[in-house]
Amino acid sequence: MEFELSEEQRAFRDVLRRFADERIAPVARDWELSGRHPTEIVDGLAELGLFGILVPEEYGGLALDAVSYGIVFEEISRAWMGIAGFLGTHSLATNLLTRFGTDEQRRAHLPDLAAGRRISALGLTEPGAGSDLQGITTRAVRDGDAYVLNGVKTWLTNAAIAEPIVVLVVTDPTAEPRHRGLSLLLVDAGLDGVEISGDIPKLGYHGTSSHEVAFTDVRVPATALLGGEEGLGFKQAVSALEIGRVNIAARSVGLARASYDAAVAYATQREAFGHPIAEFQAIQLKLADMATELQAGRLMWHWAAAAMDAGGRSDLQTGMAKLYCSEMALRASLTALRVHGGYGFSQEFEVERYYRDAPLMAIGEGTSDILRIVIARRLIAGEALS
């Protein structure tokens, strides 16, 4: 197993790191607190071609390998995790189009999406169905050359600016097992009957917007059925979530790295009893644990990404990486806050933002408990640990 990045990957990481350090980190705290839309940052992402990271080169994308894909999200999240979320949802939607779309659908959407001229969103979760995607109730009924769509989706990142929204729907409510009755539709947010809420107020994950979207008798052209065949939506969505878990694992490591860096900087500057607190063993133990877990997390997501690049099934590896890294980010953000003492509770310091952003990592792309079940089932089925 390779534990080092290739020369090309290191050069790519360095470009992203400079971008994050120079154009994201200096404004992240102020823009996050004010609710300012990060227009200039989004423009910079487009300049770097990052909206096409999973799009084939023939459509103007970068077609990155999974390790390079993870590097994008680790470096951006180190500066501002919310920005990585904006890009992450878009990349999952483009991945679905790339892998499962018809030739016509790819030609119609991917060039603009890869260039950042359009942004996409993903509508899976509903008010009554989160981890249990088979429990969704949003219906799409075929009526001539269209589907009539009714239902509500929630927690859609980018929905207010999305074109299209990739929506998981029930096309056959009688199917057994139930997942065979689910499909994905490419829905134009400007169609009659689509109502998008304002930004959902959140603890963290600012810099990107989250919305509830209601569909009332929305007529969606039948040509918008992803792949042109009904009943494949569940399989398509779950498959896309595998690389989404690499995304979340890498974002978690970026967030943990930011927490660690802040803790070290503060501990070497803050004095108590006439000495920098970094000289006290209690602080040293915390920093040592943070650094060790951080490096372990990075190796975990690299391992999972490498498994994806090798081809074949990788839900065990991606599940383990996302589980470990997200829980590690929670611990790191809390430890950094504790190292800061009372100042960690102040918005004057970045660590309170890291602490607010971290919980989402243990929820998005499968909660920690759901992933434990996924992992256990793969182990019980006989998958060996390499």
At 1 the pLDDT is: 56
The residues pairing with 205 across neighbouring beta strands, listed in sequence order, are none
Q: Token pair for residue 161?
A: 């600016």
Q: Token pair for residue 323?
A: 């589980």
Phi-psi category of residue 182: left, alpha or beta, with phi > 0 → left and psi -120 to 50 → alpha = beta
Where do the H-state alpha helices sit in 101-156?
103-115
* Domain assignments of the chain as residue spans, ordered by start: 7-119, 121-231, 235-380
Architecture of domain 235-380: Up-down Bundle (1.20)
Q: Give the amino acid at 286.
A: K
Dihedral of the alpha carbons of 38, 41, 47, 50, in degrees to the nearest 10: -90
Give DSSP secondary structure letters for 85-100.
HHHHHHHHHHHHHHHH
Q: Token pair for residue 356?
A: 């607010």
Length of the chain as a residue count: 386
Determine the topology of domain 7-119 in CATH: Butyryl-Coa Dehydrogenase, subunit A; domain 1 (1.10.540)
Q: How far apart are CA 357 and CA 251, in angstroms?
A: 10
Give DSSP secondary structure letters for 20-85.
IIIIIHHHHHHHHHHT---HHHHHHHHHTTGGGTTS-GGGT-----HHHHHHHHHHHHHH-HHHHH
End-to-end CA distance of the chain, in Å? Answer: 10
Q: How far apart are CA 184 and CA 328, in angstroms?
A: 33
**For residue 33, with 0-12 CB atoms within 10 Å meaning exposed, 13-18 middle and 19 or more buried, which class applies?**
exposed
Residue with tokens 């770097």, as numbered in its chain? 48
Check 57, 126, 365, 383 and give the catalytic one.
365
How crowded is residue 262: how many other Cβ atoms within 10 Å of its Cβ?
A: 22
Phi-psi category of residue 366: left, alpha or beta, with phi > 0 → left and psi -120 to 50 → alpha = left
* C-beta of residue 187 within 8 angstroms of C-beta of residue 151: no
At 384 the pLDDT is: 80
Nearest of 190, 210, 53 to residue 123 by alpha carbon: 210
Q: How far apart are CA 338 and CA 280, in angstroms?
A: 14
Are β-strands 182-187 and 162-170 bridged in parallel, bridged antiparallel, or unpaired?
Answer: antiparallel
pLDDT tens-digit profile, the chain (386 residues): 567 899 999 999 999 999 999 999 999 999 999 999 999 999 999 999 999 999 999 999 999 999 999 999 999 999 999 999 999 999 999 999 999 999 999 999 999 999 999 999 999 999 999 888 899 999 999 999 999 999 999 999 999 999 999 999 999 999 999 999 999 999 999 999 999 999 999 999 999 999 999 999 999 999 999 999 999 999 999 988 889 999 999 999 999 999 999 999 999 999 999 999 999 999 999 999 999 999 999 999 999 999 999 988 899 999 999 999 999 999 999 999 999 999 999 999 999 999 999 999 999 888 999 999 999 999 999 988 87
Residue with tokens 């992992």, as numbered in its chain? 375
Does 365 qualify as catalytic in the annotation?
Answer: yes
Q: How far apart are CA 70 and CA 73, in angstroms?
A: 5
Residue with tokens 């197993």, as numbered in its chain? 1
Determine the topology of domain 121-231 in CATH: Butyryl-CoA Dehydrogenase, subunit A; domain 2 (2.40.110)
User: Distance of CA 28 to CAs 78, 202, 310, 334, 380, Å?
Assistant: 11, 17, 36, 20, 44
